[in-house]
């Protein structure tokens, strides 16, 4: 996996976020910095966030005013990881993640169609990624799930505590998808890997990856070709008669 720089517009937003955070008191489970952004070579990843407007607000009954704007272009099949650093002081803050048009949504430039999309919580990036577990208290806003995650392409959602799996649609190569979901960001806990504990709190990762459309089996493709050839031959015979 390779680290990628954020877009210029996103970088400016993040600079403002860091200025706003300086000198502010620590709140429970509040994102204060981006860590490593990584993905398949050539991919573009961007993320931005302001100072939490409503820290320690779990469980928000509507879309949380604390938000992360994100966008990404997949240049190949593989994992895209976004790492966040958290200040903690004794509670849980709910974040609304909007992968909408503000930062370009999610674009498929992998060369193949997608039949599903997956979002997973965990720790570390690349080969060091470790999936989240109930013990760390980090989750996709369950059991409240308000609002329900959305996706403009895939209509069926399997909503688990630490994983979102969307199916029921097709995103072709060159296609664009928009998605939203919420994350409960807790205070530091014993369930968080020691390697991700930092002086102010901890780091966590949002991992995203596509489910590619299955390639036709070789035998099926061969039979299809033979069938088409036979059909073409029969058409020629009828025409000659």
* Whole-number pLDDT of residue 26: 44
* Whole-number pLDDT of residue 22: 34
Structure tokens at 129: 């990624």
At CA 174, angle to CA 63 and CA 148, rounded to 5?
20
Phi and psi at residue 24, in whole multiples of 5°?
-90, 150
Residue 210 pLDDT more than 90? yes
Find the mean pLDDT for residues 8-15.
35
CB-based contacts of 131: which residues, under 8 Å, 6+ apart?
A: 120, 121, 122, 162, 163
* Count of C-beta atoms within a 10 Å radius of residue 73: 20
Residue 234: strand pairing partners: none
Structure tokens at 87: 């200040």
Whole-number mean pLDDT of the chain? Answer: 84
Taking the domains of the chain in order of start, what are their residue ranges? Answer: 2-216
- Three-state SS for 14? helix
Find the mean pLDDT for residues 153-168.
98
Q: Return d(Cα 207, Cα 84) in angstroms, integer.
A: 11
Q: Taking the complete model, does pTM exceed 0.95, yes or no?
A: no
At CA 133, angle to CA 132 and CA 138, rounded to 5?
65
Q: Which of 20-29, 111-120, 151-160 has the weakest average pLDDT?
A: 20-29
């Amino acid at each position: 996996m390779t680290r990628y720089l954020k877009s210029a517009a996103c970088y400016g937003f993040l600079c403002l976020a860091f200025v706003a955070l300086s000198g502010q008191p620590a709140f429970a489970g509040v994102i204060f910095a981006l860590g490593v952004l990584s993905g398949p070579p050539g991919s573009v990843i961007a993320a931005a966030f302001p100072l939490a407007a409503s820290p320690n607000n779990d469980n928000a009954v509507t879309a949380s005013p604390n938000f992360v704007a994100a966008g990404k272009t997949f240049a190949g099949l593989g994992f895209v990881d976004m790492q966040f650093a958290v200040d903690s002081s004794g509670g849980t803050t709910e974040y609304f993640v909007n992968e909408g048009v503000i930062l370009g949504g999610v674009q498929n430039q992998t060369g193949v169609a997608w039949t599903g999309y997956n979002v997973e919580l965990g720790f570390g990036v690349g080969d060091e990624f470790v999936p989240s577990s109930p013990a760390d208290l980090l989750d996709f806003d369950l059991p409240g799930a308000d609002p329900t995650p959305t996706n403009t392409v895939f209509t069926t959602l399997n909503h688990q505590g630490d994983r979102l799996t969307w199916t029921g649609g097709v995103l072709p190569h060159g296609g664009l998808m928009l998605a939203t979901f919420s994350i409960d960001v807790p205070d530091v806990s014993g369930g968080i890997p020691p390697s991700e504990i930092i002086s102010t709190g901890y780091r966590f990762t949002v991992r995203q990856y596509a489910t590619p459309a299955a390639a036709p089996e070789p035998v099926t493709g061969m039979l299809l070709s033979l069938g088409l050839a036979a059909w073409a031959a029969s058409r020629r015979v009828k025409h000659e008669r």
